[in-house]
Amino acid sequence: MSPSITYSSTRGGQKNLDFRTVVMTGLAHDRGLFVPDSFPTVSKDELEQWRGLSYADLAVNVIAKFVGEDQVPAEKLADIVKRSCAAFRHEDVTPVIQVGGHAVLELFHGPTFAFKDVALQMLGNFFEYFLETGSNGGKLTVLGATSGDTGSAAIYGLRGKKGIDCVILFPLGRVSPIQERQMTTVEDSNIHCVAVEGTFDDCQDIVKASFNTPEFRDKVKLGAVNSINWCRVLAQTTYYFWSYLRVTDNAELKNELIHYSVPTGNFGDILAGFYSKKMGLPVGKLVVATNENDILHRFFTKGEYHREPIAKSISPSMDICVSSNFERYLFHLAGDDSDVLAGWMKNFETTKKLDIKGELLEKAQADFSSARADTAMTLAAIREYNEKYQYVLCPHSAVGISAVQQLDLVKPATVCLATAHEAKFPAAVKDAIDPLPEPPKQLKCLAELPTRLSNCPNDVKAVQEFVANKVA
């Protein structure tokens, strides 16, 4: 058995840490993000040997490439992954179907009907195992920010877990009513939902500032569920391998590179695709699909990563003006040089701008394509897929569909990630489809359930006081 992969901060302040440490730490103490010190490889033969595996067994094999017996015994790793997959309603966990001349990877069959369930079911079970086996003295306070889906997925992954308190911040009035109810109807005493006056980026800034307050961080034993946590990204690589194998079950596509279109906000989902490609998965184009909040599209087309105010859209989970995971990609773009990356980030934090050009921009454009879909284009995609194929898209998934249409990538070797169930966004979908399809019973019943919610001002100290009081 080869030893487990180690991890270092993108900004160079912490180096060669093990998997357990980076999962429990979340954000590096120098404000960087943890990245693998090396990438394991998957050969064509090995990939072929995985073709007949169930999703859970495939996921165990992919994750074991990073996580060896020195971190999690093989039997325990299999147990963690299989219990996580058992929380899904579909036997394939993330089924792949053909719609409109391309593949769709359905990532919404978990407890909260969104793609984040895949990673957050696993992260909750990893947290539980590490706490049971000595980490943090058995205590962890998870502080997370959500633009809609992370919050409920984290809550469903952590509810009732021994030794864990979970505090989720969300922007007041900027998540869909169903997303809010998915969070606030969970009655477990270790779950705390907090509405913050502001945007998702404000919530995310409060979380990052709290990780950068050592006294507070150490006192409450802070942990992260946002995709700044490496475990989130690692868990998401599994469905790229799965969908590649399902698409290439078609013998005509066996030697093709497979393209992926990913609705993108915080950059974690598509980064998992980039890392899968680094491991040897035969990936063609990785399409960054954005809504009106298009900082990433502007970067990949013009080399301009400029922070702008958030525009409220019908795809709220992508209403993000700074993508926290993007730092991991920028580190690789900088040639894995933490000094260069730290300089870029310091300058960005001061000026709200980062510009690249020439060879660097060409490299970025070789790694990723991008497209932007506004509200009208998003609704047009929802309407078209319902009328032509009787297939209903959520507004985020529709952004990914619009992107492949714009880039002329509608083909059998293209996979569009369907990131959430449309019933989570009835107001948006109703602008394209009327009457709406019947929602799943698990979402329909939310309106009748009691809710629990706290409010906090948009202030780091106020949130930290709230957290400290809750976990005292």
Any idea which residues carry the catalytic annotation?
Answer: 116
Pure H helices in 334-421: 338-351, 358-367, 375-389, 395-406
Give the 3-state secondary structure of residue 422.
helix
Name the DSSP class of 136. Answer: G
Give the 3-state secondary structure of residue 394.
coil
The CA-to-CA distance between both ends of the chain, in Å, stands at 42
* Phi and psi torsions of 286, nearest 5°: -110, 115
Distance separating alpha carbons of residues 443 and 429, to the nearest angstrom:
15
- Adjacent-strand bridge partners of 305: 354
The CA-atom distances, in angstroms, between 170 and each of 144, 217, 241 are 9, 20, 32
Cβ atoms of 424 and 114 closer than 8 Å: yes
In single-letter form, the type of residue at position 372 comes to R
Residues 6+ apart with CB under 8 A from 466: 167, 192, 194, 454, 456
Classify strands 96-99 and 102-106 as parallel, antiparallel or unpaired.
Answer: antiparallel
The CA-atom distances, in angstroms, between 8 and each of 15, 181, 215, 430, 439 are 4, 38, 22, 46, 44
Q: Does residue 412 have a cis bond before it (omega within 30 degrees)?
A: no
